[in-house]
Amino acid sequence: MPELTLAGPTLAEFERARVVVSQVAEVTPMESSRFLADLLGAPVYLKCENLQRTGSYKIRGGFNRISQLTDEEKSRGVVAASAGNHAQGVAFAARELGIAATIFMPVGVALPKLQATRHYGAEVVLRGHSVDEALRTAAEFAATTGAVFIPPFDHPDVVAGQGTLGLEILDQVPDLQTVIVPIGGGGLISGVASALKQKFARDGRIVRIIGVQAENAAPYPISLRNGVSTEITISPTIADGIAVNKPGLLNFEIVQQAVDEVITVSDDDIARAMLVLLERAKLVVEPAGAVSVAAILTGQISSTGPTVAILSGGNIDPLVMERVISRGLAASDRYLKLRLMLPDRPGQLARIAELISEANANVVEVLHTRHGRNALISDVEIELSIETRGPEHVQRVLRHLIDAGYEPRVDF
């Protein structure tokens, strides 16, 4: 079959990168998911890059890029900027190759990511309050010191390294039909899509590549509509690992050529996906790494054959994990907050607890105040946190309270 010509690395370059990357990267597990397969109506596999060394796929691109440096460039050291996964990947790669690394991270970066980056031997400098500020400072550092800047996604060597994941996936699921890939700047999806599309074209086969972004940080859909890499203003999202305001230029060109569709998911969708992965697959996945599963849960993916969802990373602060789990429970209607106005007399709280018990729900927290803004002088306001078992159970709890004469207000 004729070769497929795409921007960026050739299939031969992806194959060469695979040999290089294999020096440090693990062949991560490919786990099947019966739960997700039942939802999709086709076999679903989870590519567990959350179990990769340094906790994400980033080690692939970082190591491949640094390995291509000349001896003279290596002697000058490398510099990078990141809030987490890229920082750890570059720090680890530099340590393995015996190169000095300076990593700029924003002030307030999650402590586990900061500690891990330092543990890999890099000099960490906290600068600015966003990754963009850290990137600007890293570029200035490279210009003044001669250190080689290692970009997070927009470079052929980085793309080639990330694309080794696509070749690995094909080894593990040879009859692959669809791959779902998280997108930030586009390093991972451009590598995976290019490697797989070229490989499949050579074999006369077809594979679908679907990208997923967090809806609060999604420059790819509008860029694809505009036909040019477009900068957006991003809003806060729990998926900070893919919160990039503009596609990489090379990455965007490859995505235009090789990616079939890009969709978005909400923070609630992501939290729900993380909860599913934790409960059903026993996997800890960071928000950015769970967007591929969120896309399946929201019904935006259609596939009739083997489908792989890439779990791109597992680096998450335990404190953030706690908040995200709570959000996932609420998004799944398994955690209900509601407010009630009650007459300020003995026995009312006990009556409410009894009604909730009759509805087979469990109260986990109660806040009681006489100072609610809408409370009459003879009333009190209570806020209840209740464990429930899904949407139907929530409605039963609310109906039971209403039938008893109360007016519950759900607190979103």
CA distance 52 to 101: 21
Tokens at residue 272, please?
């729900």
Q: Is 378 a catalytic residue?
A: no
The verdict on domain 333-410 having CATH code 2.130.10.30 is no
pLDDT digits (tens, 9 = 90+) for 260-301: 999 999 999 999 999 999 999 999 999 999 999 999 999 999
Per CATH, the number for 58-149 is 3.40.50.1100
The residues pairing with 340 across neighbouring beta strands, listed in sequence order, are 382
Would you say 213 and 262 are in contact if contact means Cβ atoms under 8 Å apart? Answer: yes
Taking the alpha carbons of 292, 296, 298, 304 in that order, is the dihedral positive or negative? positive
The pLDDT value given to residue 391: 86
User: Catalytic residue among 33, 47, 56, 58, which?
Assistant: 58
Q: Which of 17, 20, 44, 25 is nearest to 33 (CA)?
A: 44
Q: What are phi and psi of 275, to 5 degrees?
A: -65, -40
pLDDT digits (tens, 9 = 90+) for 123-173: 999 988 878 888 899 999 999 999 999 999 999 999 999 999 999 999 999
* Equal fold, 11-57+155-329 vs 333-410: no
DSSP assigned state of 360: T
The pLDDT value given to residue 83: 82
The pLDDT value given to residue 344: 81
Mean pLDDT for the chain overall:
92
Q: Is 82 a catalytic residue?
A: no
The verdict on domain 11-57+155-329 having CATH code 3.40.50.150 is no
DSSP assigned state of 151: -
Taking the alpha carbons of 243, 46, 304, 174 in that order, is the dihedral positive or negative? positive
User: Catalytic residue among 56, 194, 312, 332, which?
Assistant: 312
CA distance 21 to 161: 7
User: What residue ranges do the domains of the chain occupy?
Assistant: 11-57+155-329, 58-149, 333-410
With a threshold of 0.85, does the pTM exceed it? yes
Number of Cβ within 10 Å of residue 152's Cβ equals 24
